[in-house]
């Protein structure tokens, strides 16, 4: 009986170490991909920001011809406020959909069932 309990304990310990190693590997891979993607998106965002800045100045200048520079600046600012609000709502929605480490979570859920199976055979 002691040998069986020892084997089960050793198997459980090995299983838990493997699950932790899998979780670490998945997290490292995800972090690496996320870092590369974030760097590229940061560069794209900076270039986009400059583009929008100069287009906004051009729109402000063009509207200023028709209604005066002060009111044109208010119109452009309100336009950007609407864009910011829409992006904030969409971004928040996307962040709420983020999941953790799916493979590790699924296999970790199976551990209690595996333990129950061992108890039935003991």
What share of the chain in percent tops pLDDT 70? Answer: 83
Question: Which range scores top for mean pLDDT: 12-21, 62-71, 97-106?
Answer: 62-71
Asked if residues 6 and 94 have their Cβ atoms less than 8 Å apart, the reply is no
The closest alpha carbon to 77, from 118, 85, 108, belongs to: 85
Q: pTM above 0.85?
A: no
Q: List helix spans (H) across the chain.
A: 2-67, 69-96, 102-121
Q: Is the pLDDT of residue 86 over 50?
A: yes
Q: How far apart are CA 30 and CA 106, in angstroms?
A: 17
């Amino acid at each position: 009986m002691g040998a069986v309990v020892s084997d089960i304990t050793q198997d459980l310990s090995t299983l838990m170490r493997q699950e932790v190693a899998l979780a670490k590997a998945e997290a490292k891979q995800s972090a690496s991909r996320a870092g590369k993607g974030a760097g590229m998106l940061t560069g794209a965002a900076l270039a986009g920001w400059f583009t929008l800045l100069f287009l906004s100045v051009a729109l402000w200048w063009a509207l200023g011809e028709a209604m005066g520079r002060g009111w044109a600046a208010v119109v452009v600012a309100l336009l950007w406020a609407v864009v910011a609000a829409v992006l904030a709502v969409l971004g928040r929605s996307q962040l709420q959909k983020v999941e953790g480490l799916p493979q590790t979570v699924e296999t970790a859920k199976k551990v209690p069932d595996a333990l129950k199976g061992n108890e039935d055979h003991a």
